[in-house]
Structure formats: structure tokens, C-alpha cells
Amino acid sequence: MNAIRINKVVIVAALLGATIRCSAVEGTWARRSDLPTARLGLSTCVVNGKIYVIGGGYSIEGPHSRIVEEYDPATDTWARKADMPTGRLGHAASAFNGKIYVVGGDLHGEVSGATVEEYDPVTDTWTKKADMPTRRTFLCSCTVDGTIYVIGGITAPEMHTPARVEVYDPATDTWTRKTDMPTARSMAAACVVDGKIYVIGGVIGNVGGAGVSTVEEYDPATNTWARKADMPTIRKALSASVVAGRIYATGGGAGYGEPFSALEEYDPETDTWIRKPDMPMTRYFHSTAAVDGKMYVFGGAVQFPPHASTAAVEAYELTGPPPDFNGDGKVDGKDVLILAASWGQDDPSCDIGPTVFGDGIVDVQDLTVLAEWIGQDISDATLIAHWAFDEAEGVVAYDDAGDHSGTVIGLPVWQPVGGTIGGALELDGTTFVVTDFLLNPEQGPFSAFAWVQGGALGQAIISQQAGFDWLLLDPATGTLMTELRSGGRVSMALYSEATVADGQWHRVGFTWDGSNRRLYVDDILVAEDTDVALAECYSGLNIGCGSIMAPNTFFTGLIDDVRIYNRAVKP
Ligand SMILES: [Ca+2]
Ligand SMILES: [Ca+2]
Ligand SMILES: [Ca+2]
């Protein structure tokens, strides 16, 4: 990496901050051992890597449970613990200093409680503590700096919704009041990230109401509230947990409708929400807890009205892409060198540690994550299409990575042993491959790579129908260029001086990391500039001709191993 390129990367990273950070992290769901006792309106709390699942009811009418079950995520096993003295549903639980504090909830049908009980997992014993000033149900609680914040809820039977924030100090067994939450609600979720509390969703007034998508942030240091970006889904009786500094909101419902399966991720750093893979089951009145980078979902109800609860447990695990920075299908020394070239910098494409979102600098933590991948077989979820062109016959060009198999238009001439990797497709200037929609360039980082031999002035390698030519040979000089740009009046194509049409095989590539366009020939950077936006386009790809199929854009020569990634690969 030369000095000019390093400066560009540093300047752009400084301008954009975190907005382009790793978009490739994805999660997967898996079923875990059922709760021994099916429940809804339960609460969960983590102490020493174990999750305590406390109280709740078989249905929304009860009976109100005193049951405590301990889940060990490491072994996927359950153990029964000492019953809570007070059976309850719709309560809240938070941990501090190895002990759990259970507050409020519906104690025995339509009566909200103020009762506080402390559980010590080491001695498996319960102790009664000072009552909360405002009795309530469907409240939320969380711990910041040794203090337990109890927020919102509803007080039955008056059906009064307190906006109150009351804080409990376990050291002195005393309560004090803080600034009211701006939007009084019950059935909300609360999470803590970087010492601030986020209260998400819920319902205003009567619990039968429609629900809200409101997010409000409380700063304990200043005792003030701030409105944040709304959650995409309006919901109440949801649950949320924090994994790797981001909040994951699960399930819930609206009004008297069916429960949801939606999972949405909130990044407090950028104040943005993203939809993530749905939970396998719909549920509300459930509870979530996170341990070691995984979120676990317990119980709740899967149907309206919530007269029966489920025992099902599901786990959500975040996984980053393999650190195959150059996209050659292997994690090896080449990737180590690429990481070394970004050492000490804020380079999102190499910032893979600590898992899963990185920390804004490339250092030994990133090398550690990379080392774990060396030599492993990788399945790269960011490789969204891979046409190997190893077919010997037929008109289908199979996609090994996704479900975007292409169709050869014209008479296909396969060269089963004539490619760089196995076979290749020979194009005669009248034939090309068409695929369905794969990606919208506006949406975020991506890369397109192909092996080609041959070609001539103005011929295209990959284009998007009715969009831009992604990779083509300059009509004037025959060198590699891209038309991909914002489409604005001042936006321009990006040109290189690298010759491709010399009869040799070359690997050509385009990458966009959200801020820089780059062209590669034989894995060497041949052109680069800053372009912070690309024009949207929702159509399929052409391989071997230009976007509007102009006759002079049809490729003549061999094409092999076309790979599209939804990240910026770094050859
Ligand atoms: Ca690699
Ligand atoms: Ca890092
Ligand atoms: Ca091939």
C-alpha cells in the first residue's frame, strides 16, 4: 500500500466514521433444549454465564409461577432452583454483584405488586427487600453502575401507566426517583449499551392498545432522556438483549393481533435499525438473555389470545464473514499480508476483531480472529453468486453460491478444460449470460470479479440490465474501466490504464466499500477514487455484454469464475 492510498483510506474513514462498518455480519437461529416449565410473562437474568428463568404463568390469567430454572448455555442443560417466595407474571429482573433483584409484576390476578426479592445463586436462597415506591406490572428494569433502574409498566386495577423511573440501590436497600420517561408505557423492552438505557416499543395506556415503535435513551449521568430512531416494527410485549454492543429486539405483537417473529438490530452508535433473520417461531410475552455473543429466547406465547405458553428455546448467534479478504476462497498468508497493510488503521474491511463488529482499529485482536480461520474450509456468506462455468453442455450457468443460476442466450460454446479453474464459457460476440436480480449497487459495499481471456475495445464483461456496465474495456483504449457511479450530473466513470485484451488470462475486479471505487487486474489495484454513492438499480446482470445489449459491447473470448460478493473484497 503506498502513502497516497493510505492517506485516502484514513481521510475517508475519518469522514464516514462508523457508517460503513462491516455490513456482512449475519446471524443464524438454532433450537435449544426446552424450558422444563412452559411459561409466558416470565423474566430472565444472567449471572456468571448462566441464565435464570424466573416466574411467569402458564397463561396470561395465571396461575402465577414461583418457579426458577437455571439454564447453562455451555451444556444446553437445565436445573431447578429454589422457588421465588412470590409467584408473579409480568415482573422484571436485573442482576448486580452476583445477585438477582426481581421487582413488581402481577402477583395474583389483576393486582400489581411492589414486592422486591433478591436471589443469591451461590446459596440458592431468596431474601425480601424494600418495596418499590410505585407498584406495577409489565415494567422493565436494568442495571447501570450498581443501581437498578425500574421503568414504566402499568398499575392494575386502575390501569394507570406510570412514566416513573425509580432506582434501587442494593447496597443500601433504598429507592429514589429519577426523571420520568417522556413516553409513559408498559410492555416495553429495556437494554443498556455504554452506560445508557434504551427503552424500546411497548404500549401507551390500556395494555390492549396497538403498541408503539418509540425508542427513548436515558443517560444516568445527566438524568435526561433523548428520543432516538423509531424501531421499524410497532410492537409491545417484545424482548430485547445486547450482543456485541447492539440491541436485538425480538417478537412482540400489536393490538390484539398475532405475535411477530421479527428480529431487528439497533446500533446505538449510528442510531439506525436493520431487519435481521426472523425467529423461527412467532412469540410475545417471552424473555431474552445474552451470554458469550449469543442471544437466547425463552417461552412466551405463540398465539393470540395468550392462553397457553410455549416451552421452546431458540438461540441466535452472530457470525462474521470468514477473513478471506481477497476473495480467493481460502484464508491464508495472502490475507495476513492484506491485514498487515492496514495495521494500526481504521479499515472496516479488515476490522474483524473483537468479534463480531470490530473496534475501529486493525491490530493484534484482528490477527487473532484471522489466525482461527487459517486453513479452515470456509463457507463465505458474503459470496452471493459464483458462476464457475464448469458446465460442459446446456444453457444453464449454475450458481454455486446462491440461487442465481444464469441462462446462456445464443449458442453456448463450453470449454470444459479451457478455463483458469476447470472449464470456461467461450463467447463469440453474439452470446451472453443473463441472470435475475442479485443486488442494488446503492445498498452497500459489493465486489465483482471475473477471469477473462480476449476481448476488444468497448466490450463488456459484467453489466446490470438497464443500469451501468460494471466491468468493460474502454471503447477508446481497451483498458479496464467501470461505469458504476452515482448517476449525478458530475459523476464519472472510473478508468484504468491496465490492458486486458492481450490474449492472456486476467482476473478483473471492481469493488466498492461504500466510499471508494477500485478496479483490479490480476489482483493489483489499477484505479481508485472516492465515490460515496452509487445509483440504485434493481435488475439482473448480463455477463458478456453491456447493459443495453448494444452490438459492439458483446464480448469475444473466454470468461470464467465470476464471483459477486456483498462486501468489498481486497485482493
Ligand atoms: Ca484469501
Ligand atoms: Ca479490530
Ligand atoms: Ca471454471
What DSSP string runs through 65-81?
A: P--EEEEETTTTEEEEE
pTM: 0.73
Task: For residue 512, report the distance from its CA to the centre of ligand 2, in Å.
Answer: 21
- Look up residue 416 and give its three cell numbers: 470444459
DSSP three-state, residue 365: helix
Ligand nearest to the CA of 505: 3
Task: For residue 72, report the distance from its CA to the centre of ligand 2, in Å.
Answer: 30
Nearest to 5 by CA among 449, 518, 474: 518
At 545, which amino acid appears? C
Q: Does the structure show a pLDDT above 80 at 20? A: no
Task: For residue 429, report the distance from its CA to the centre of ligand 2, in Å.
Answer: 47
**Residue 9 confidence (pLDDT):** 35
What is the rounded CA–CA span in Å between residue 132 and residue 326? Answer: 57
Ligand nearest to the CA of 343: 2
Q: Does the structure show a pLDDT above 60 at 536? A: yes
Please give the average per-residue pLDDT across 63-71, as a whole number.
96
**Residue 257 confidence (pLDDT):** 78
Distance of CA 436 to the CA centre of its chain: 25
Task: For residue 452, report the distance from its CA to the centre of ligand 3, in Å.
Answer: 11
Task: For residue 381, report the distance from its CA to the centre of ligand 1, in Å.
Answer: 14
How distant, in Å, are the alpha carbons of 366, 403, 416, 563 from that of 393? Answer: 44, 19, 9, 21
> What residues pack around ion ligand 2 (CB closer than 5 A)?
351, 353, 358-359, 365-366
**Residue 282 confidence (pLDDT):** 96
CB 225 within 8 A of CB 182: yes
**Phi, psi (rounded to 5 degrees) for 302:** -100, -5
> Can you name the CATH fold of 3-16+321-373?
Type 1 dockerin domain (1.10.1330)
Query: Containing H/E element for 197?
Result: strand 196-200
Please give the average per-residue pLDDT across 303-309, as a whole number.
84
Ligand nearest to the CA of 332: 1
What is the rounded CA–CA span in Å between residue 182 and residue 186? Answer: 13
Task: For residue 398, report the distance from its CA to the centre of ligand 3, in Å.
Answer: 11
**Residue 404 confidence (pLDDT):** 96
- Name residue, grid cell 428494569: 141
CB 288 within 8 A of CB 270: no
% of residues, the chain, pLDDT over 70: 95
What is the rounded CA–CA span in Å between residue 234 and residue 284? Answer: 13
Please give the average per-residue pLDDT across 93-110, as a whole number.
92
Beta strand 116-120 with 99-103: parallel, antiparallel or unpaired? antiparallel
CB 268 within 8 A of CB 220: no
Contacts of 420 (CB under 8 A, 6+ apart): 451, 505, 507, 560, 561
What is the rounded CA–CA span in Å between residue 462 and residue 450? Answer: 9
204-263: pLDDT as tens digits:
998 888 899 999 999 999 999 999 999 999 999 999 999 989 999 999 999 877 899 999
Task: For residue 391, report the distance from its CA to the centre of ligand 3, in Å.
Answer: 8
Please give the average per-residue pLDDT across 256-273, as a whole number.
93
105-150: pLDDT as tens digits:
998 766 899 999 999 999 999 999 999 999 999 999 999 999 999 9
> What average pLDDT does the chain have?
92
Q: Does the structure show a pLDDT above 70 at 394? A: yes
Contacts of 83 (CB under 8 A, 6+ apart): 66, 67, 68
- Name residue, grid cell 459477486: 564
Higher pLDDT, 476 or 531: 476
What is the rounded CA–CA span in Å between residue 185 and residue 216? Answer: 11
Cβ atoms < 10 Å from Cβ of 70 = 17
Cβ atoms < 10 Å from Cβ of 306 = 21
CB 401 within 8 A of CB 384: yes
Q: Does the structure show a pLDDT above 60 at 6? A: no
**Residue 376 confidence (pLDDT):** 82
Nearest to 116 by CA among 98, 97, 135: 135
Q: Does the structure show a pLDDT above 80 at 8? A: no
Ligand nearest to the CA of 523: 1
**Residue 24 confidence (pLDDT):** 59
3-state secondary structure 400-452: CCCCCCEEEECCCEEECCCCCCCCEEEEECCCEEEEEECCCHHHCCEEEEEEE
**Residue 110 confidence (pLDDT):** 67
Opening angle at CA 123, ends 118 and 125, nearest 5: 40
154-189: pLDDT as tens digits:
998 888 899 999 999 999 999 999 999 999 999 999
The CATH class of the 26-319 domain is mainly beta
Task: For residue 522, report the distance from its CA to the centre of ligand 3, in Å.
Answer: 16
What is the rounded CA–CA span in Å between residue 46 and residue 151? Answer: 19
Q: Does the structure show a pLDDT above 50 at 12? A: no
Task: For residue 327, report the distance from its CA to the centre of ligand 3, in Å.
Answer: 16
**Phi, psi (rounded to 5 degrees) for 480:** -70, 135
Q: Does the structure show a pLDDT above 50 at 288? A: yes
- Look up residue 116 and give its three cell numbers: 422486591
What is the rounded CA–CA span in Å between residue 342 and residue 325? Answer: 12
CA dihedral 200, 204, 207, 212 (to 10 degrees): -40
% of residues, the chain, pLDDT over 90: 81
Ligand nearest to the CA of 561: 3
Query: Containing H/E element for 558?
Result: strand 556-565
What is the rounded CA–CA span in Å between residue 512 and residue 529? Answer: 10
Domain extent listing, the chain: 3-16+321-373, 26-319, 383-565
**Residue 79 confidence (pLDDT):** 98
The per-residue DSSP string of 286-323 comes to -EEEEETTEEEEE--BSSSS--S----EEEEEEEPPP-
- Using CA of residue 150, residue 153, residue 157, residue 159, what is the dihedral sign? positive
325-369: pLDDT as tens digits:
988 888 999 999 999 999 999 998 899 998 888 889 999 999 999
- Look up residue 526 and give its three cell numbers: 489499477
Nearest to 463 by CA among 387, 546, 552, 563: 546
What is the rounded CA–CA span in Å between residue 263 and residue 69? Answer: 25
Ligand nearest to the CA of 419: 3
Task: For residue 383, report the distance from its CA to the centre of ligand 1, in Å.
Answer: 13
What are the beta bridge partners of residue 204?
none
Task: For residue 125, report the distance from its CA to the centre of ligand 2, in Å.
Answer: 42
Task: For residue 350, report the distance from its CA to the centre of ligand 2, in Å.
Answer: 8
CATH 2.60.120.200 fits 383-565, yes or no: yes
What is the rounded CA–CA span in Å between residue 45 and residue 242? Answer: 13
Q: Does the structure show a pLDDT above 60 at 483? A: yes
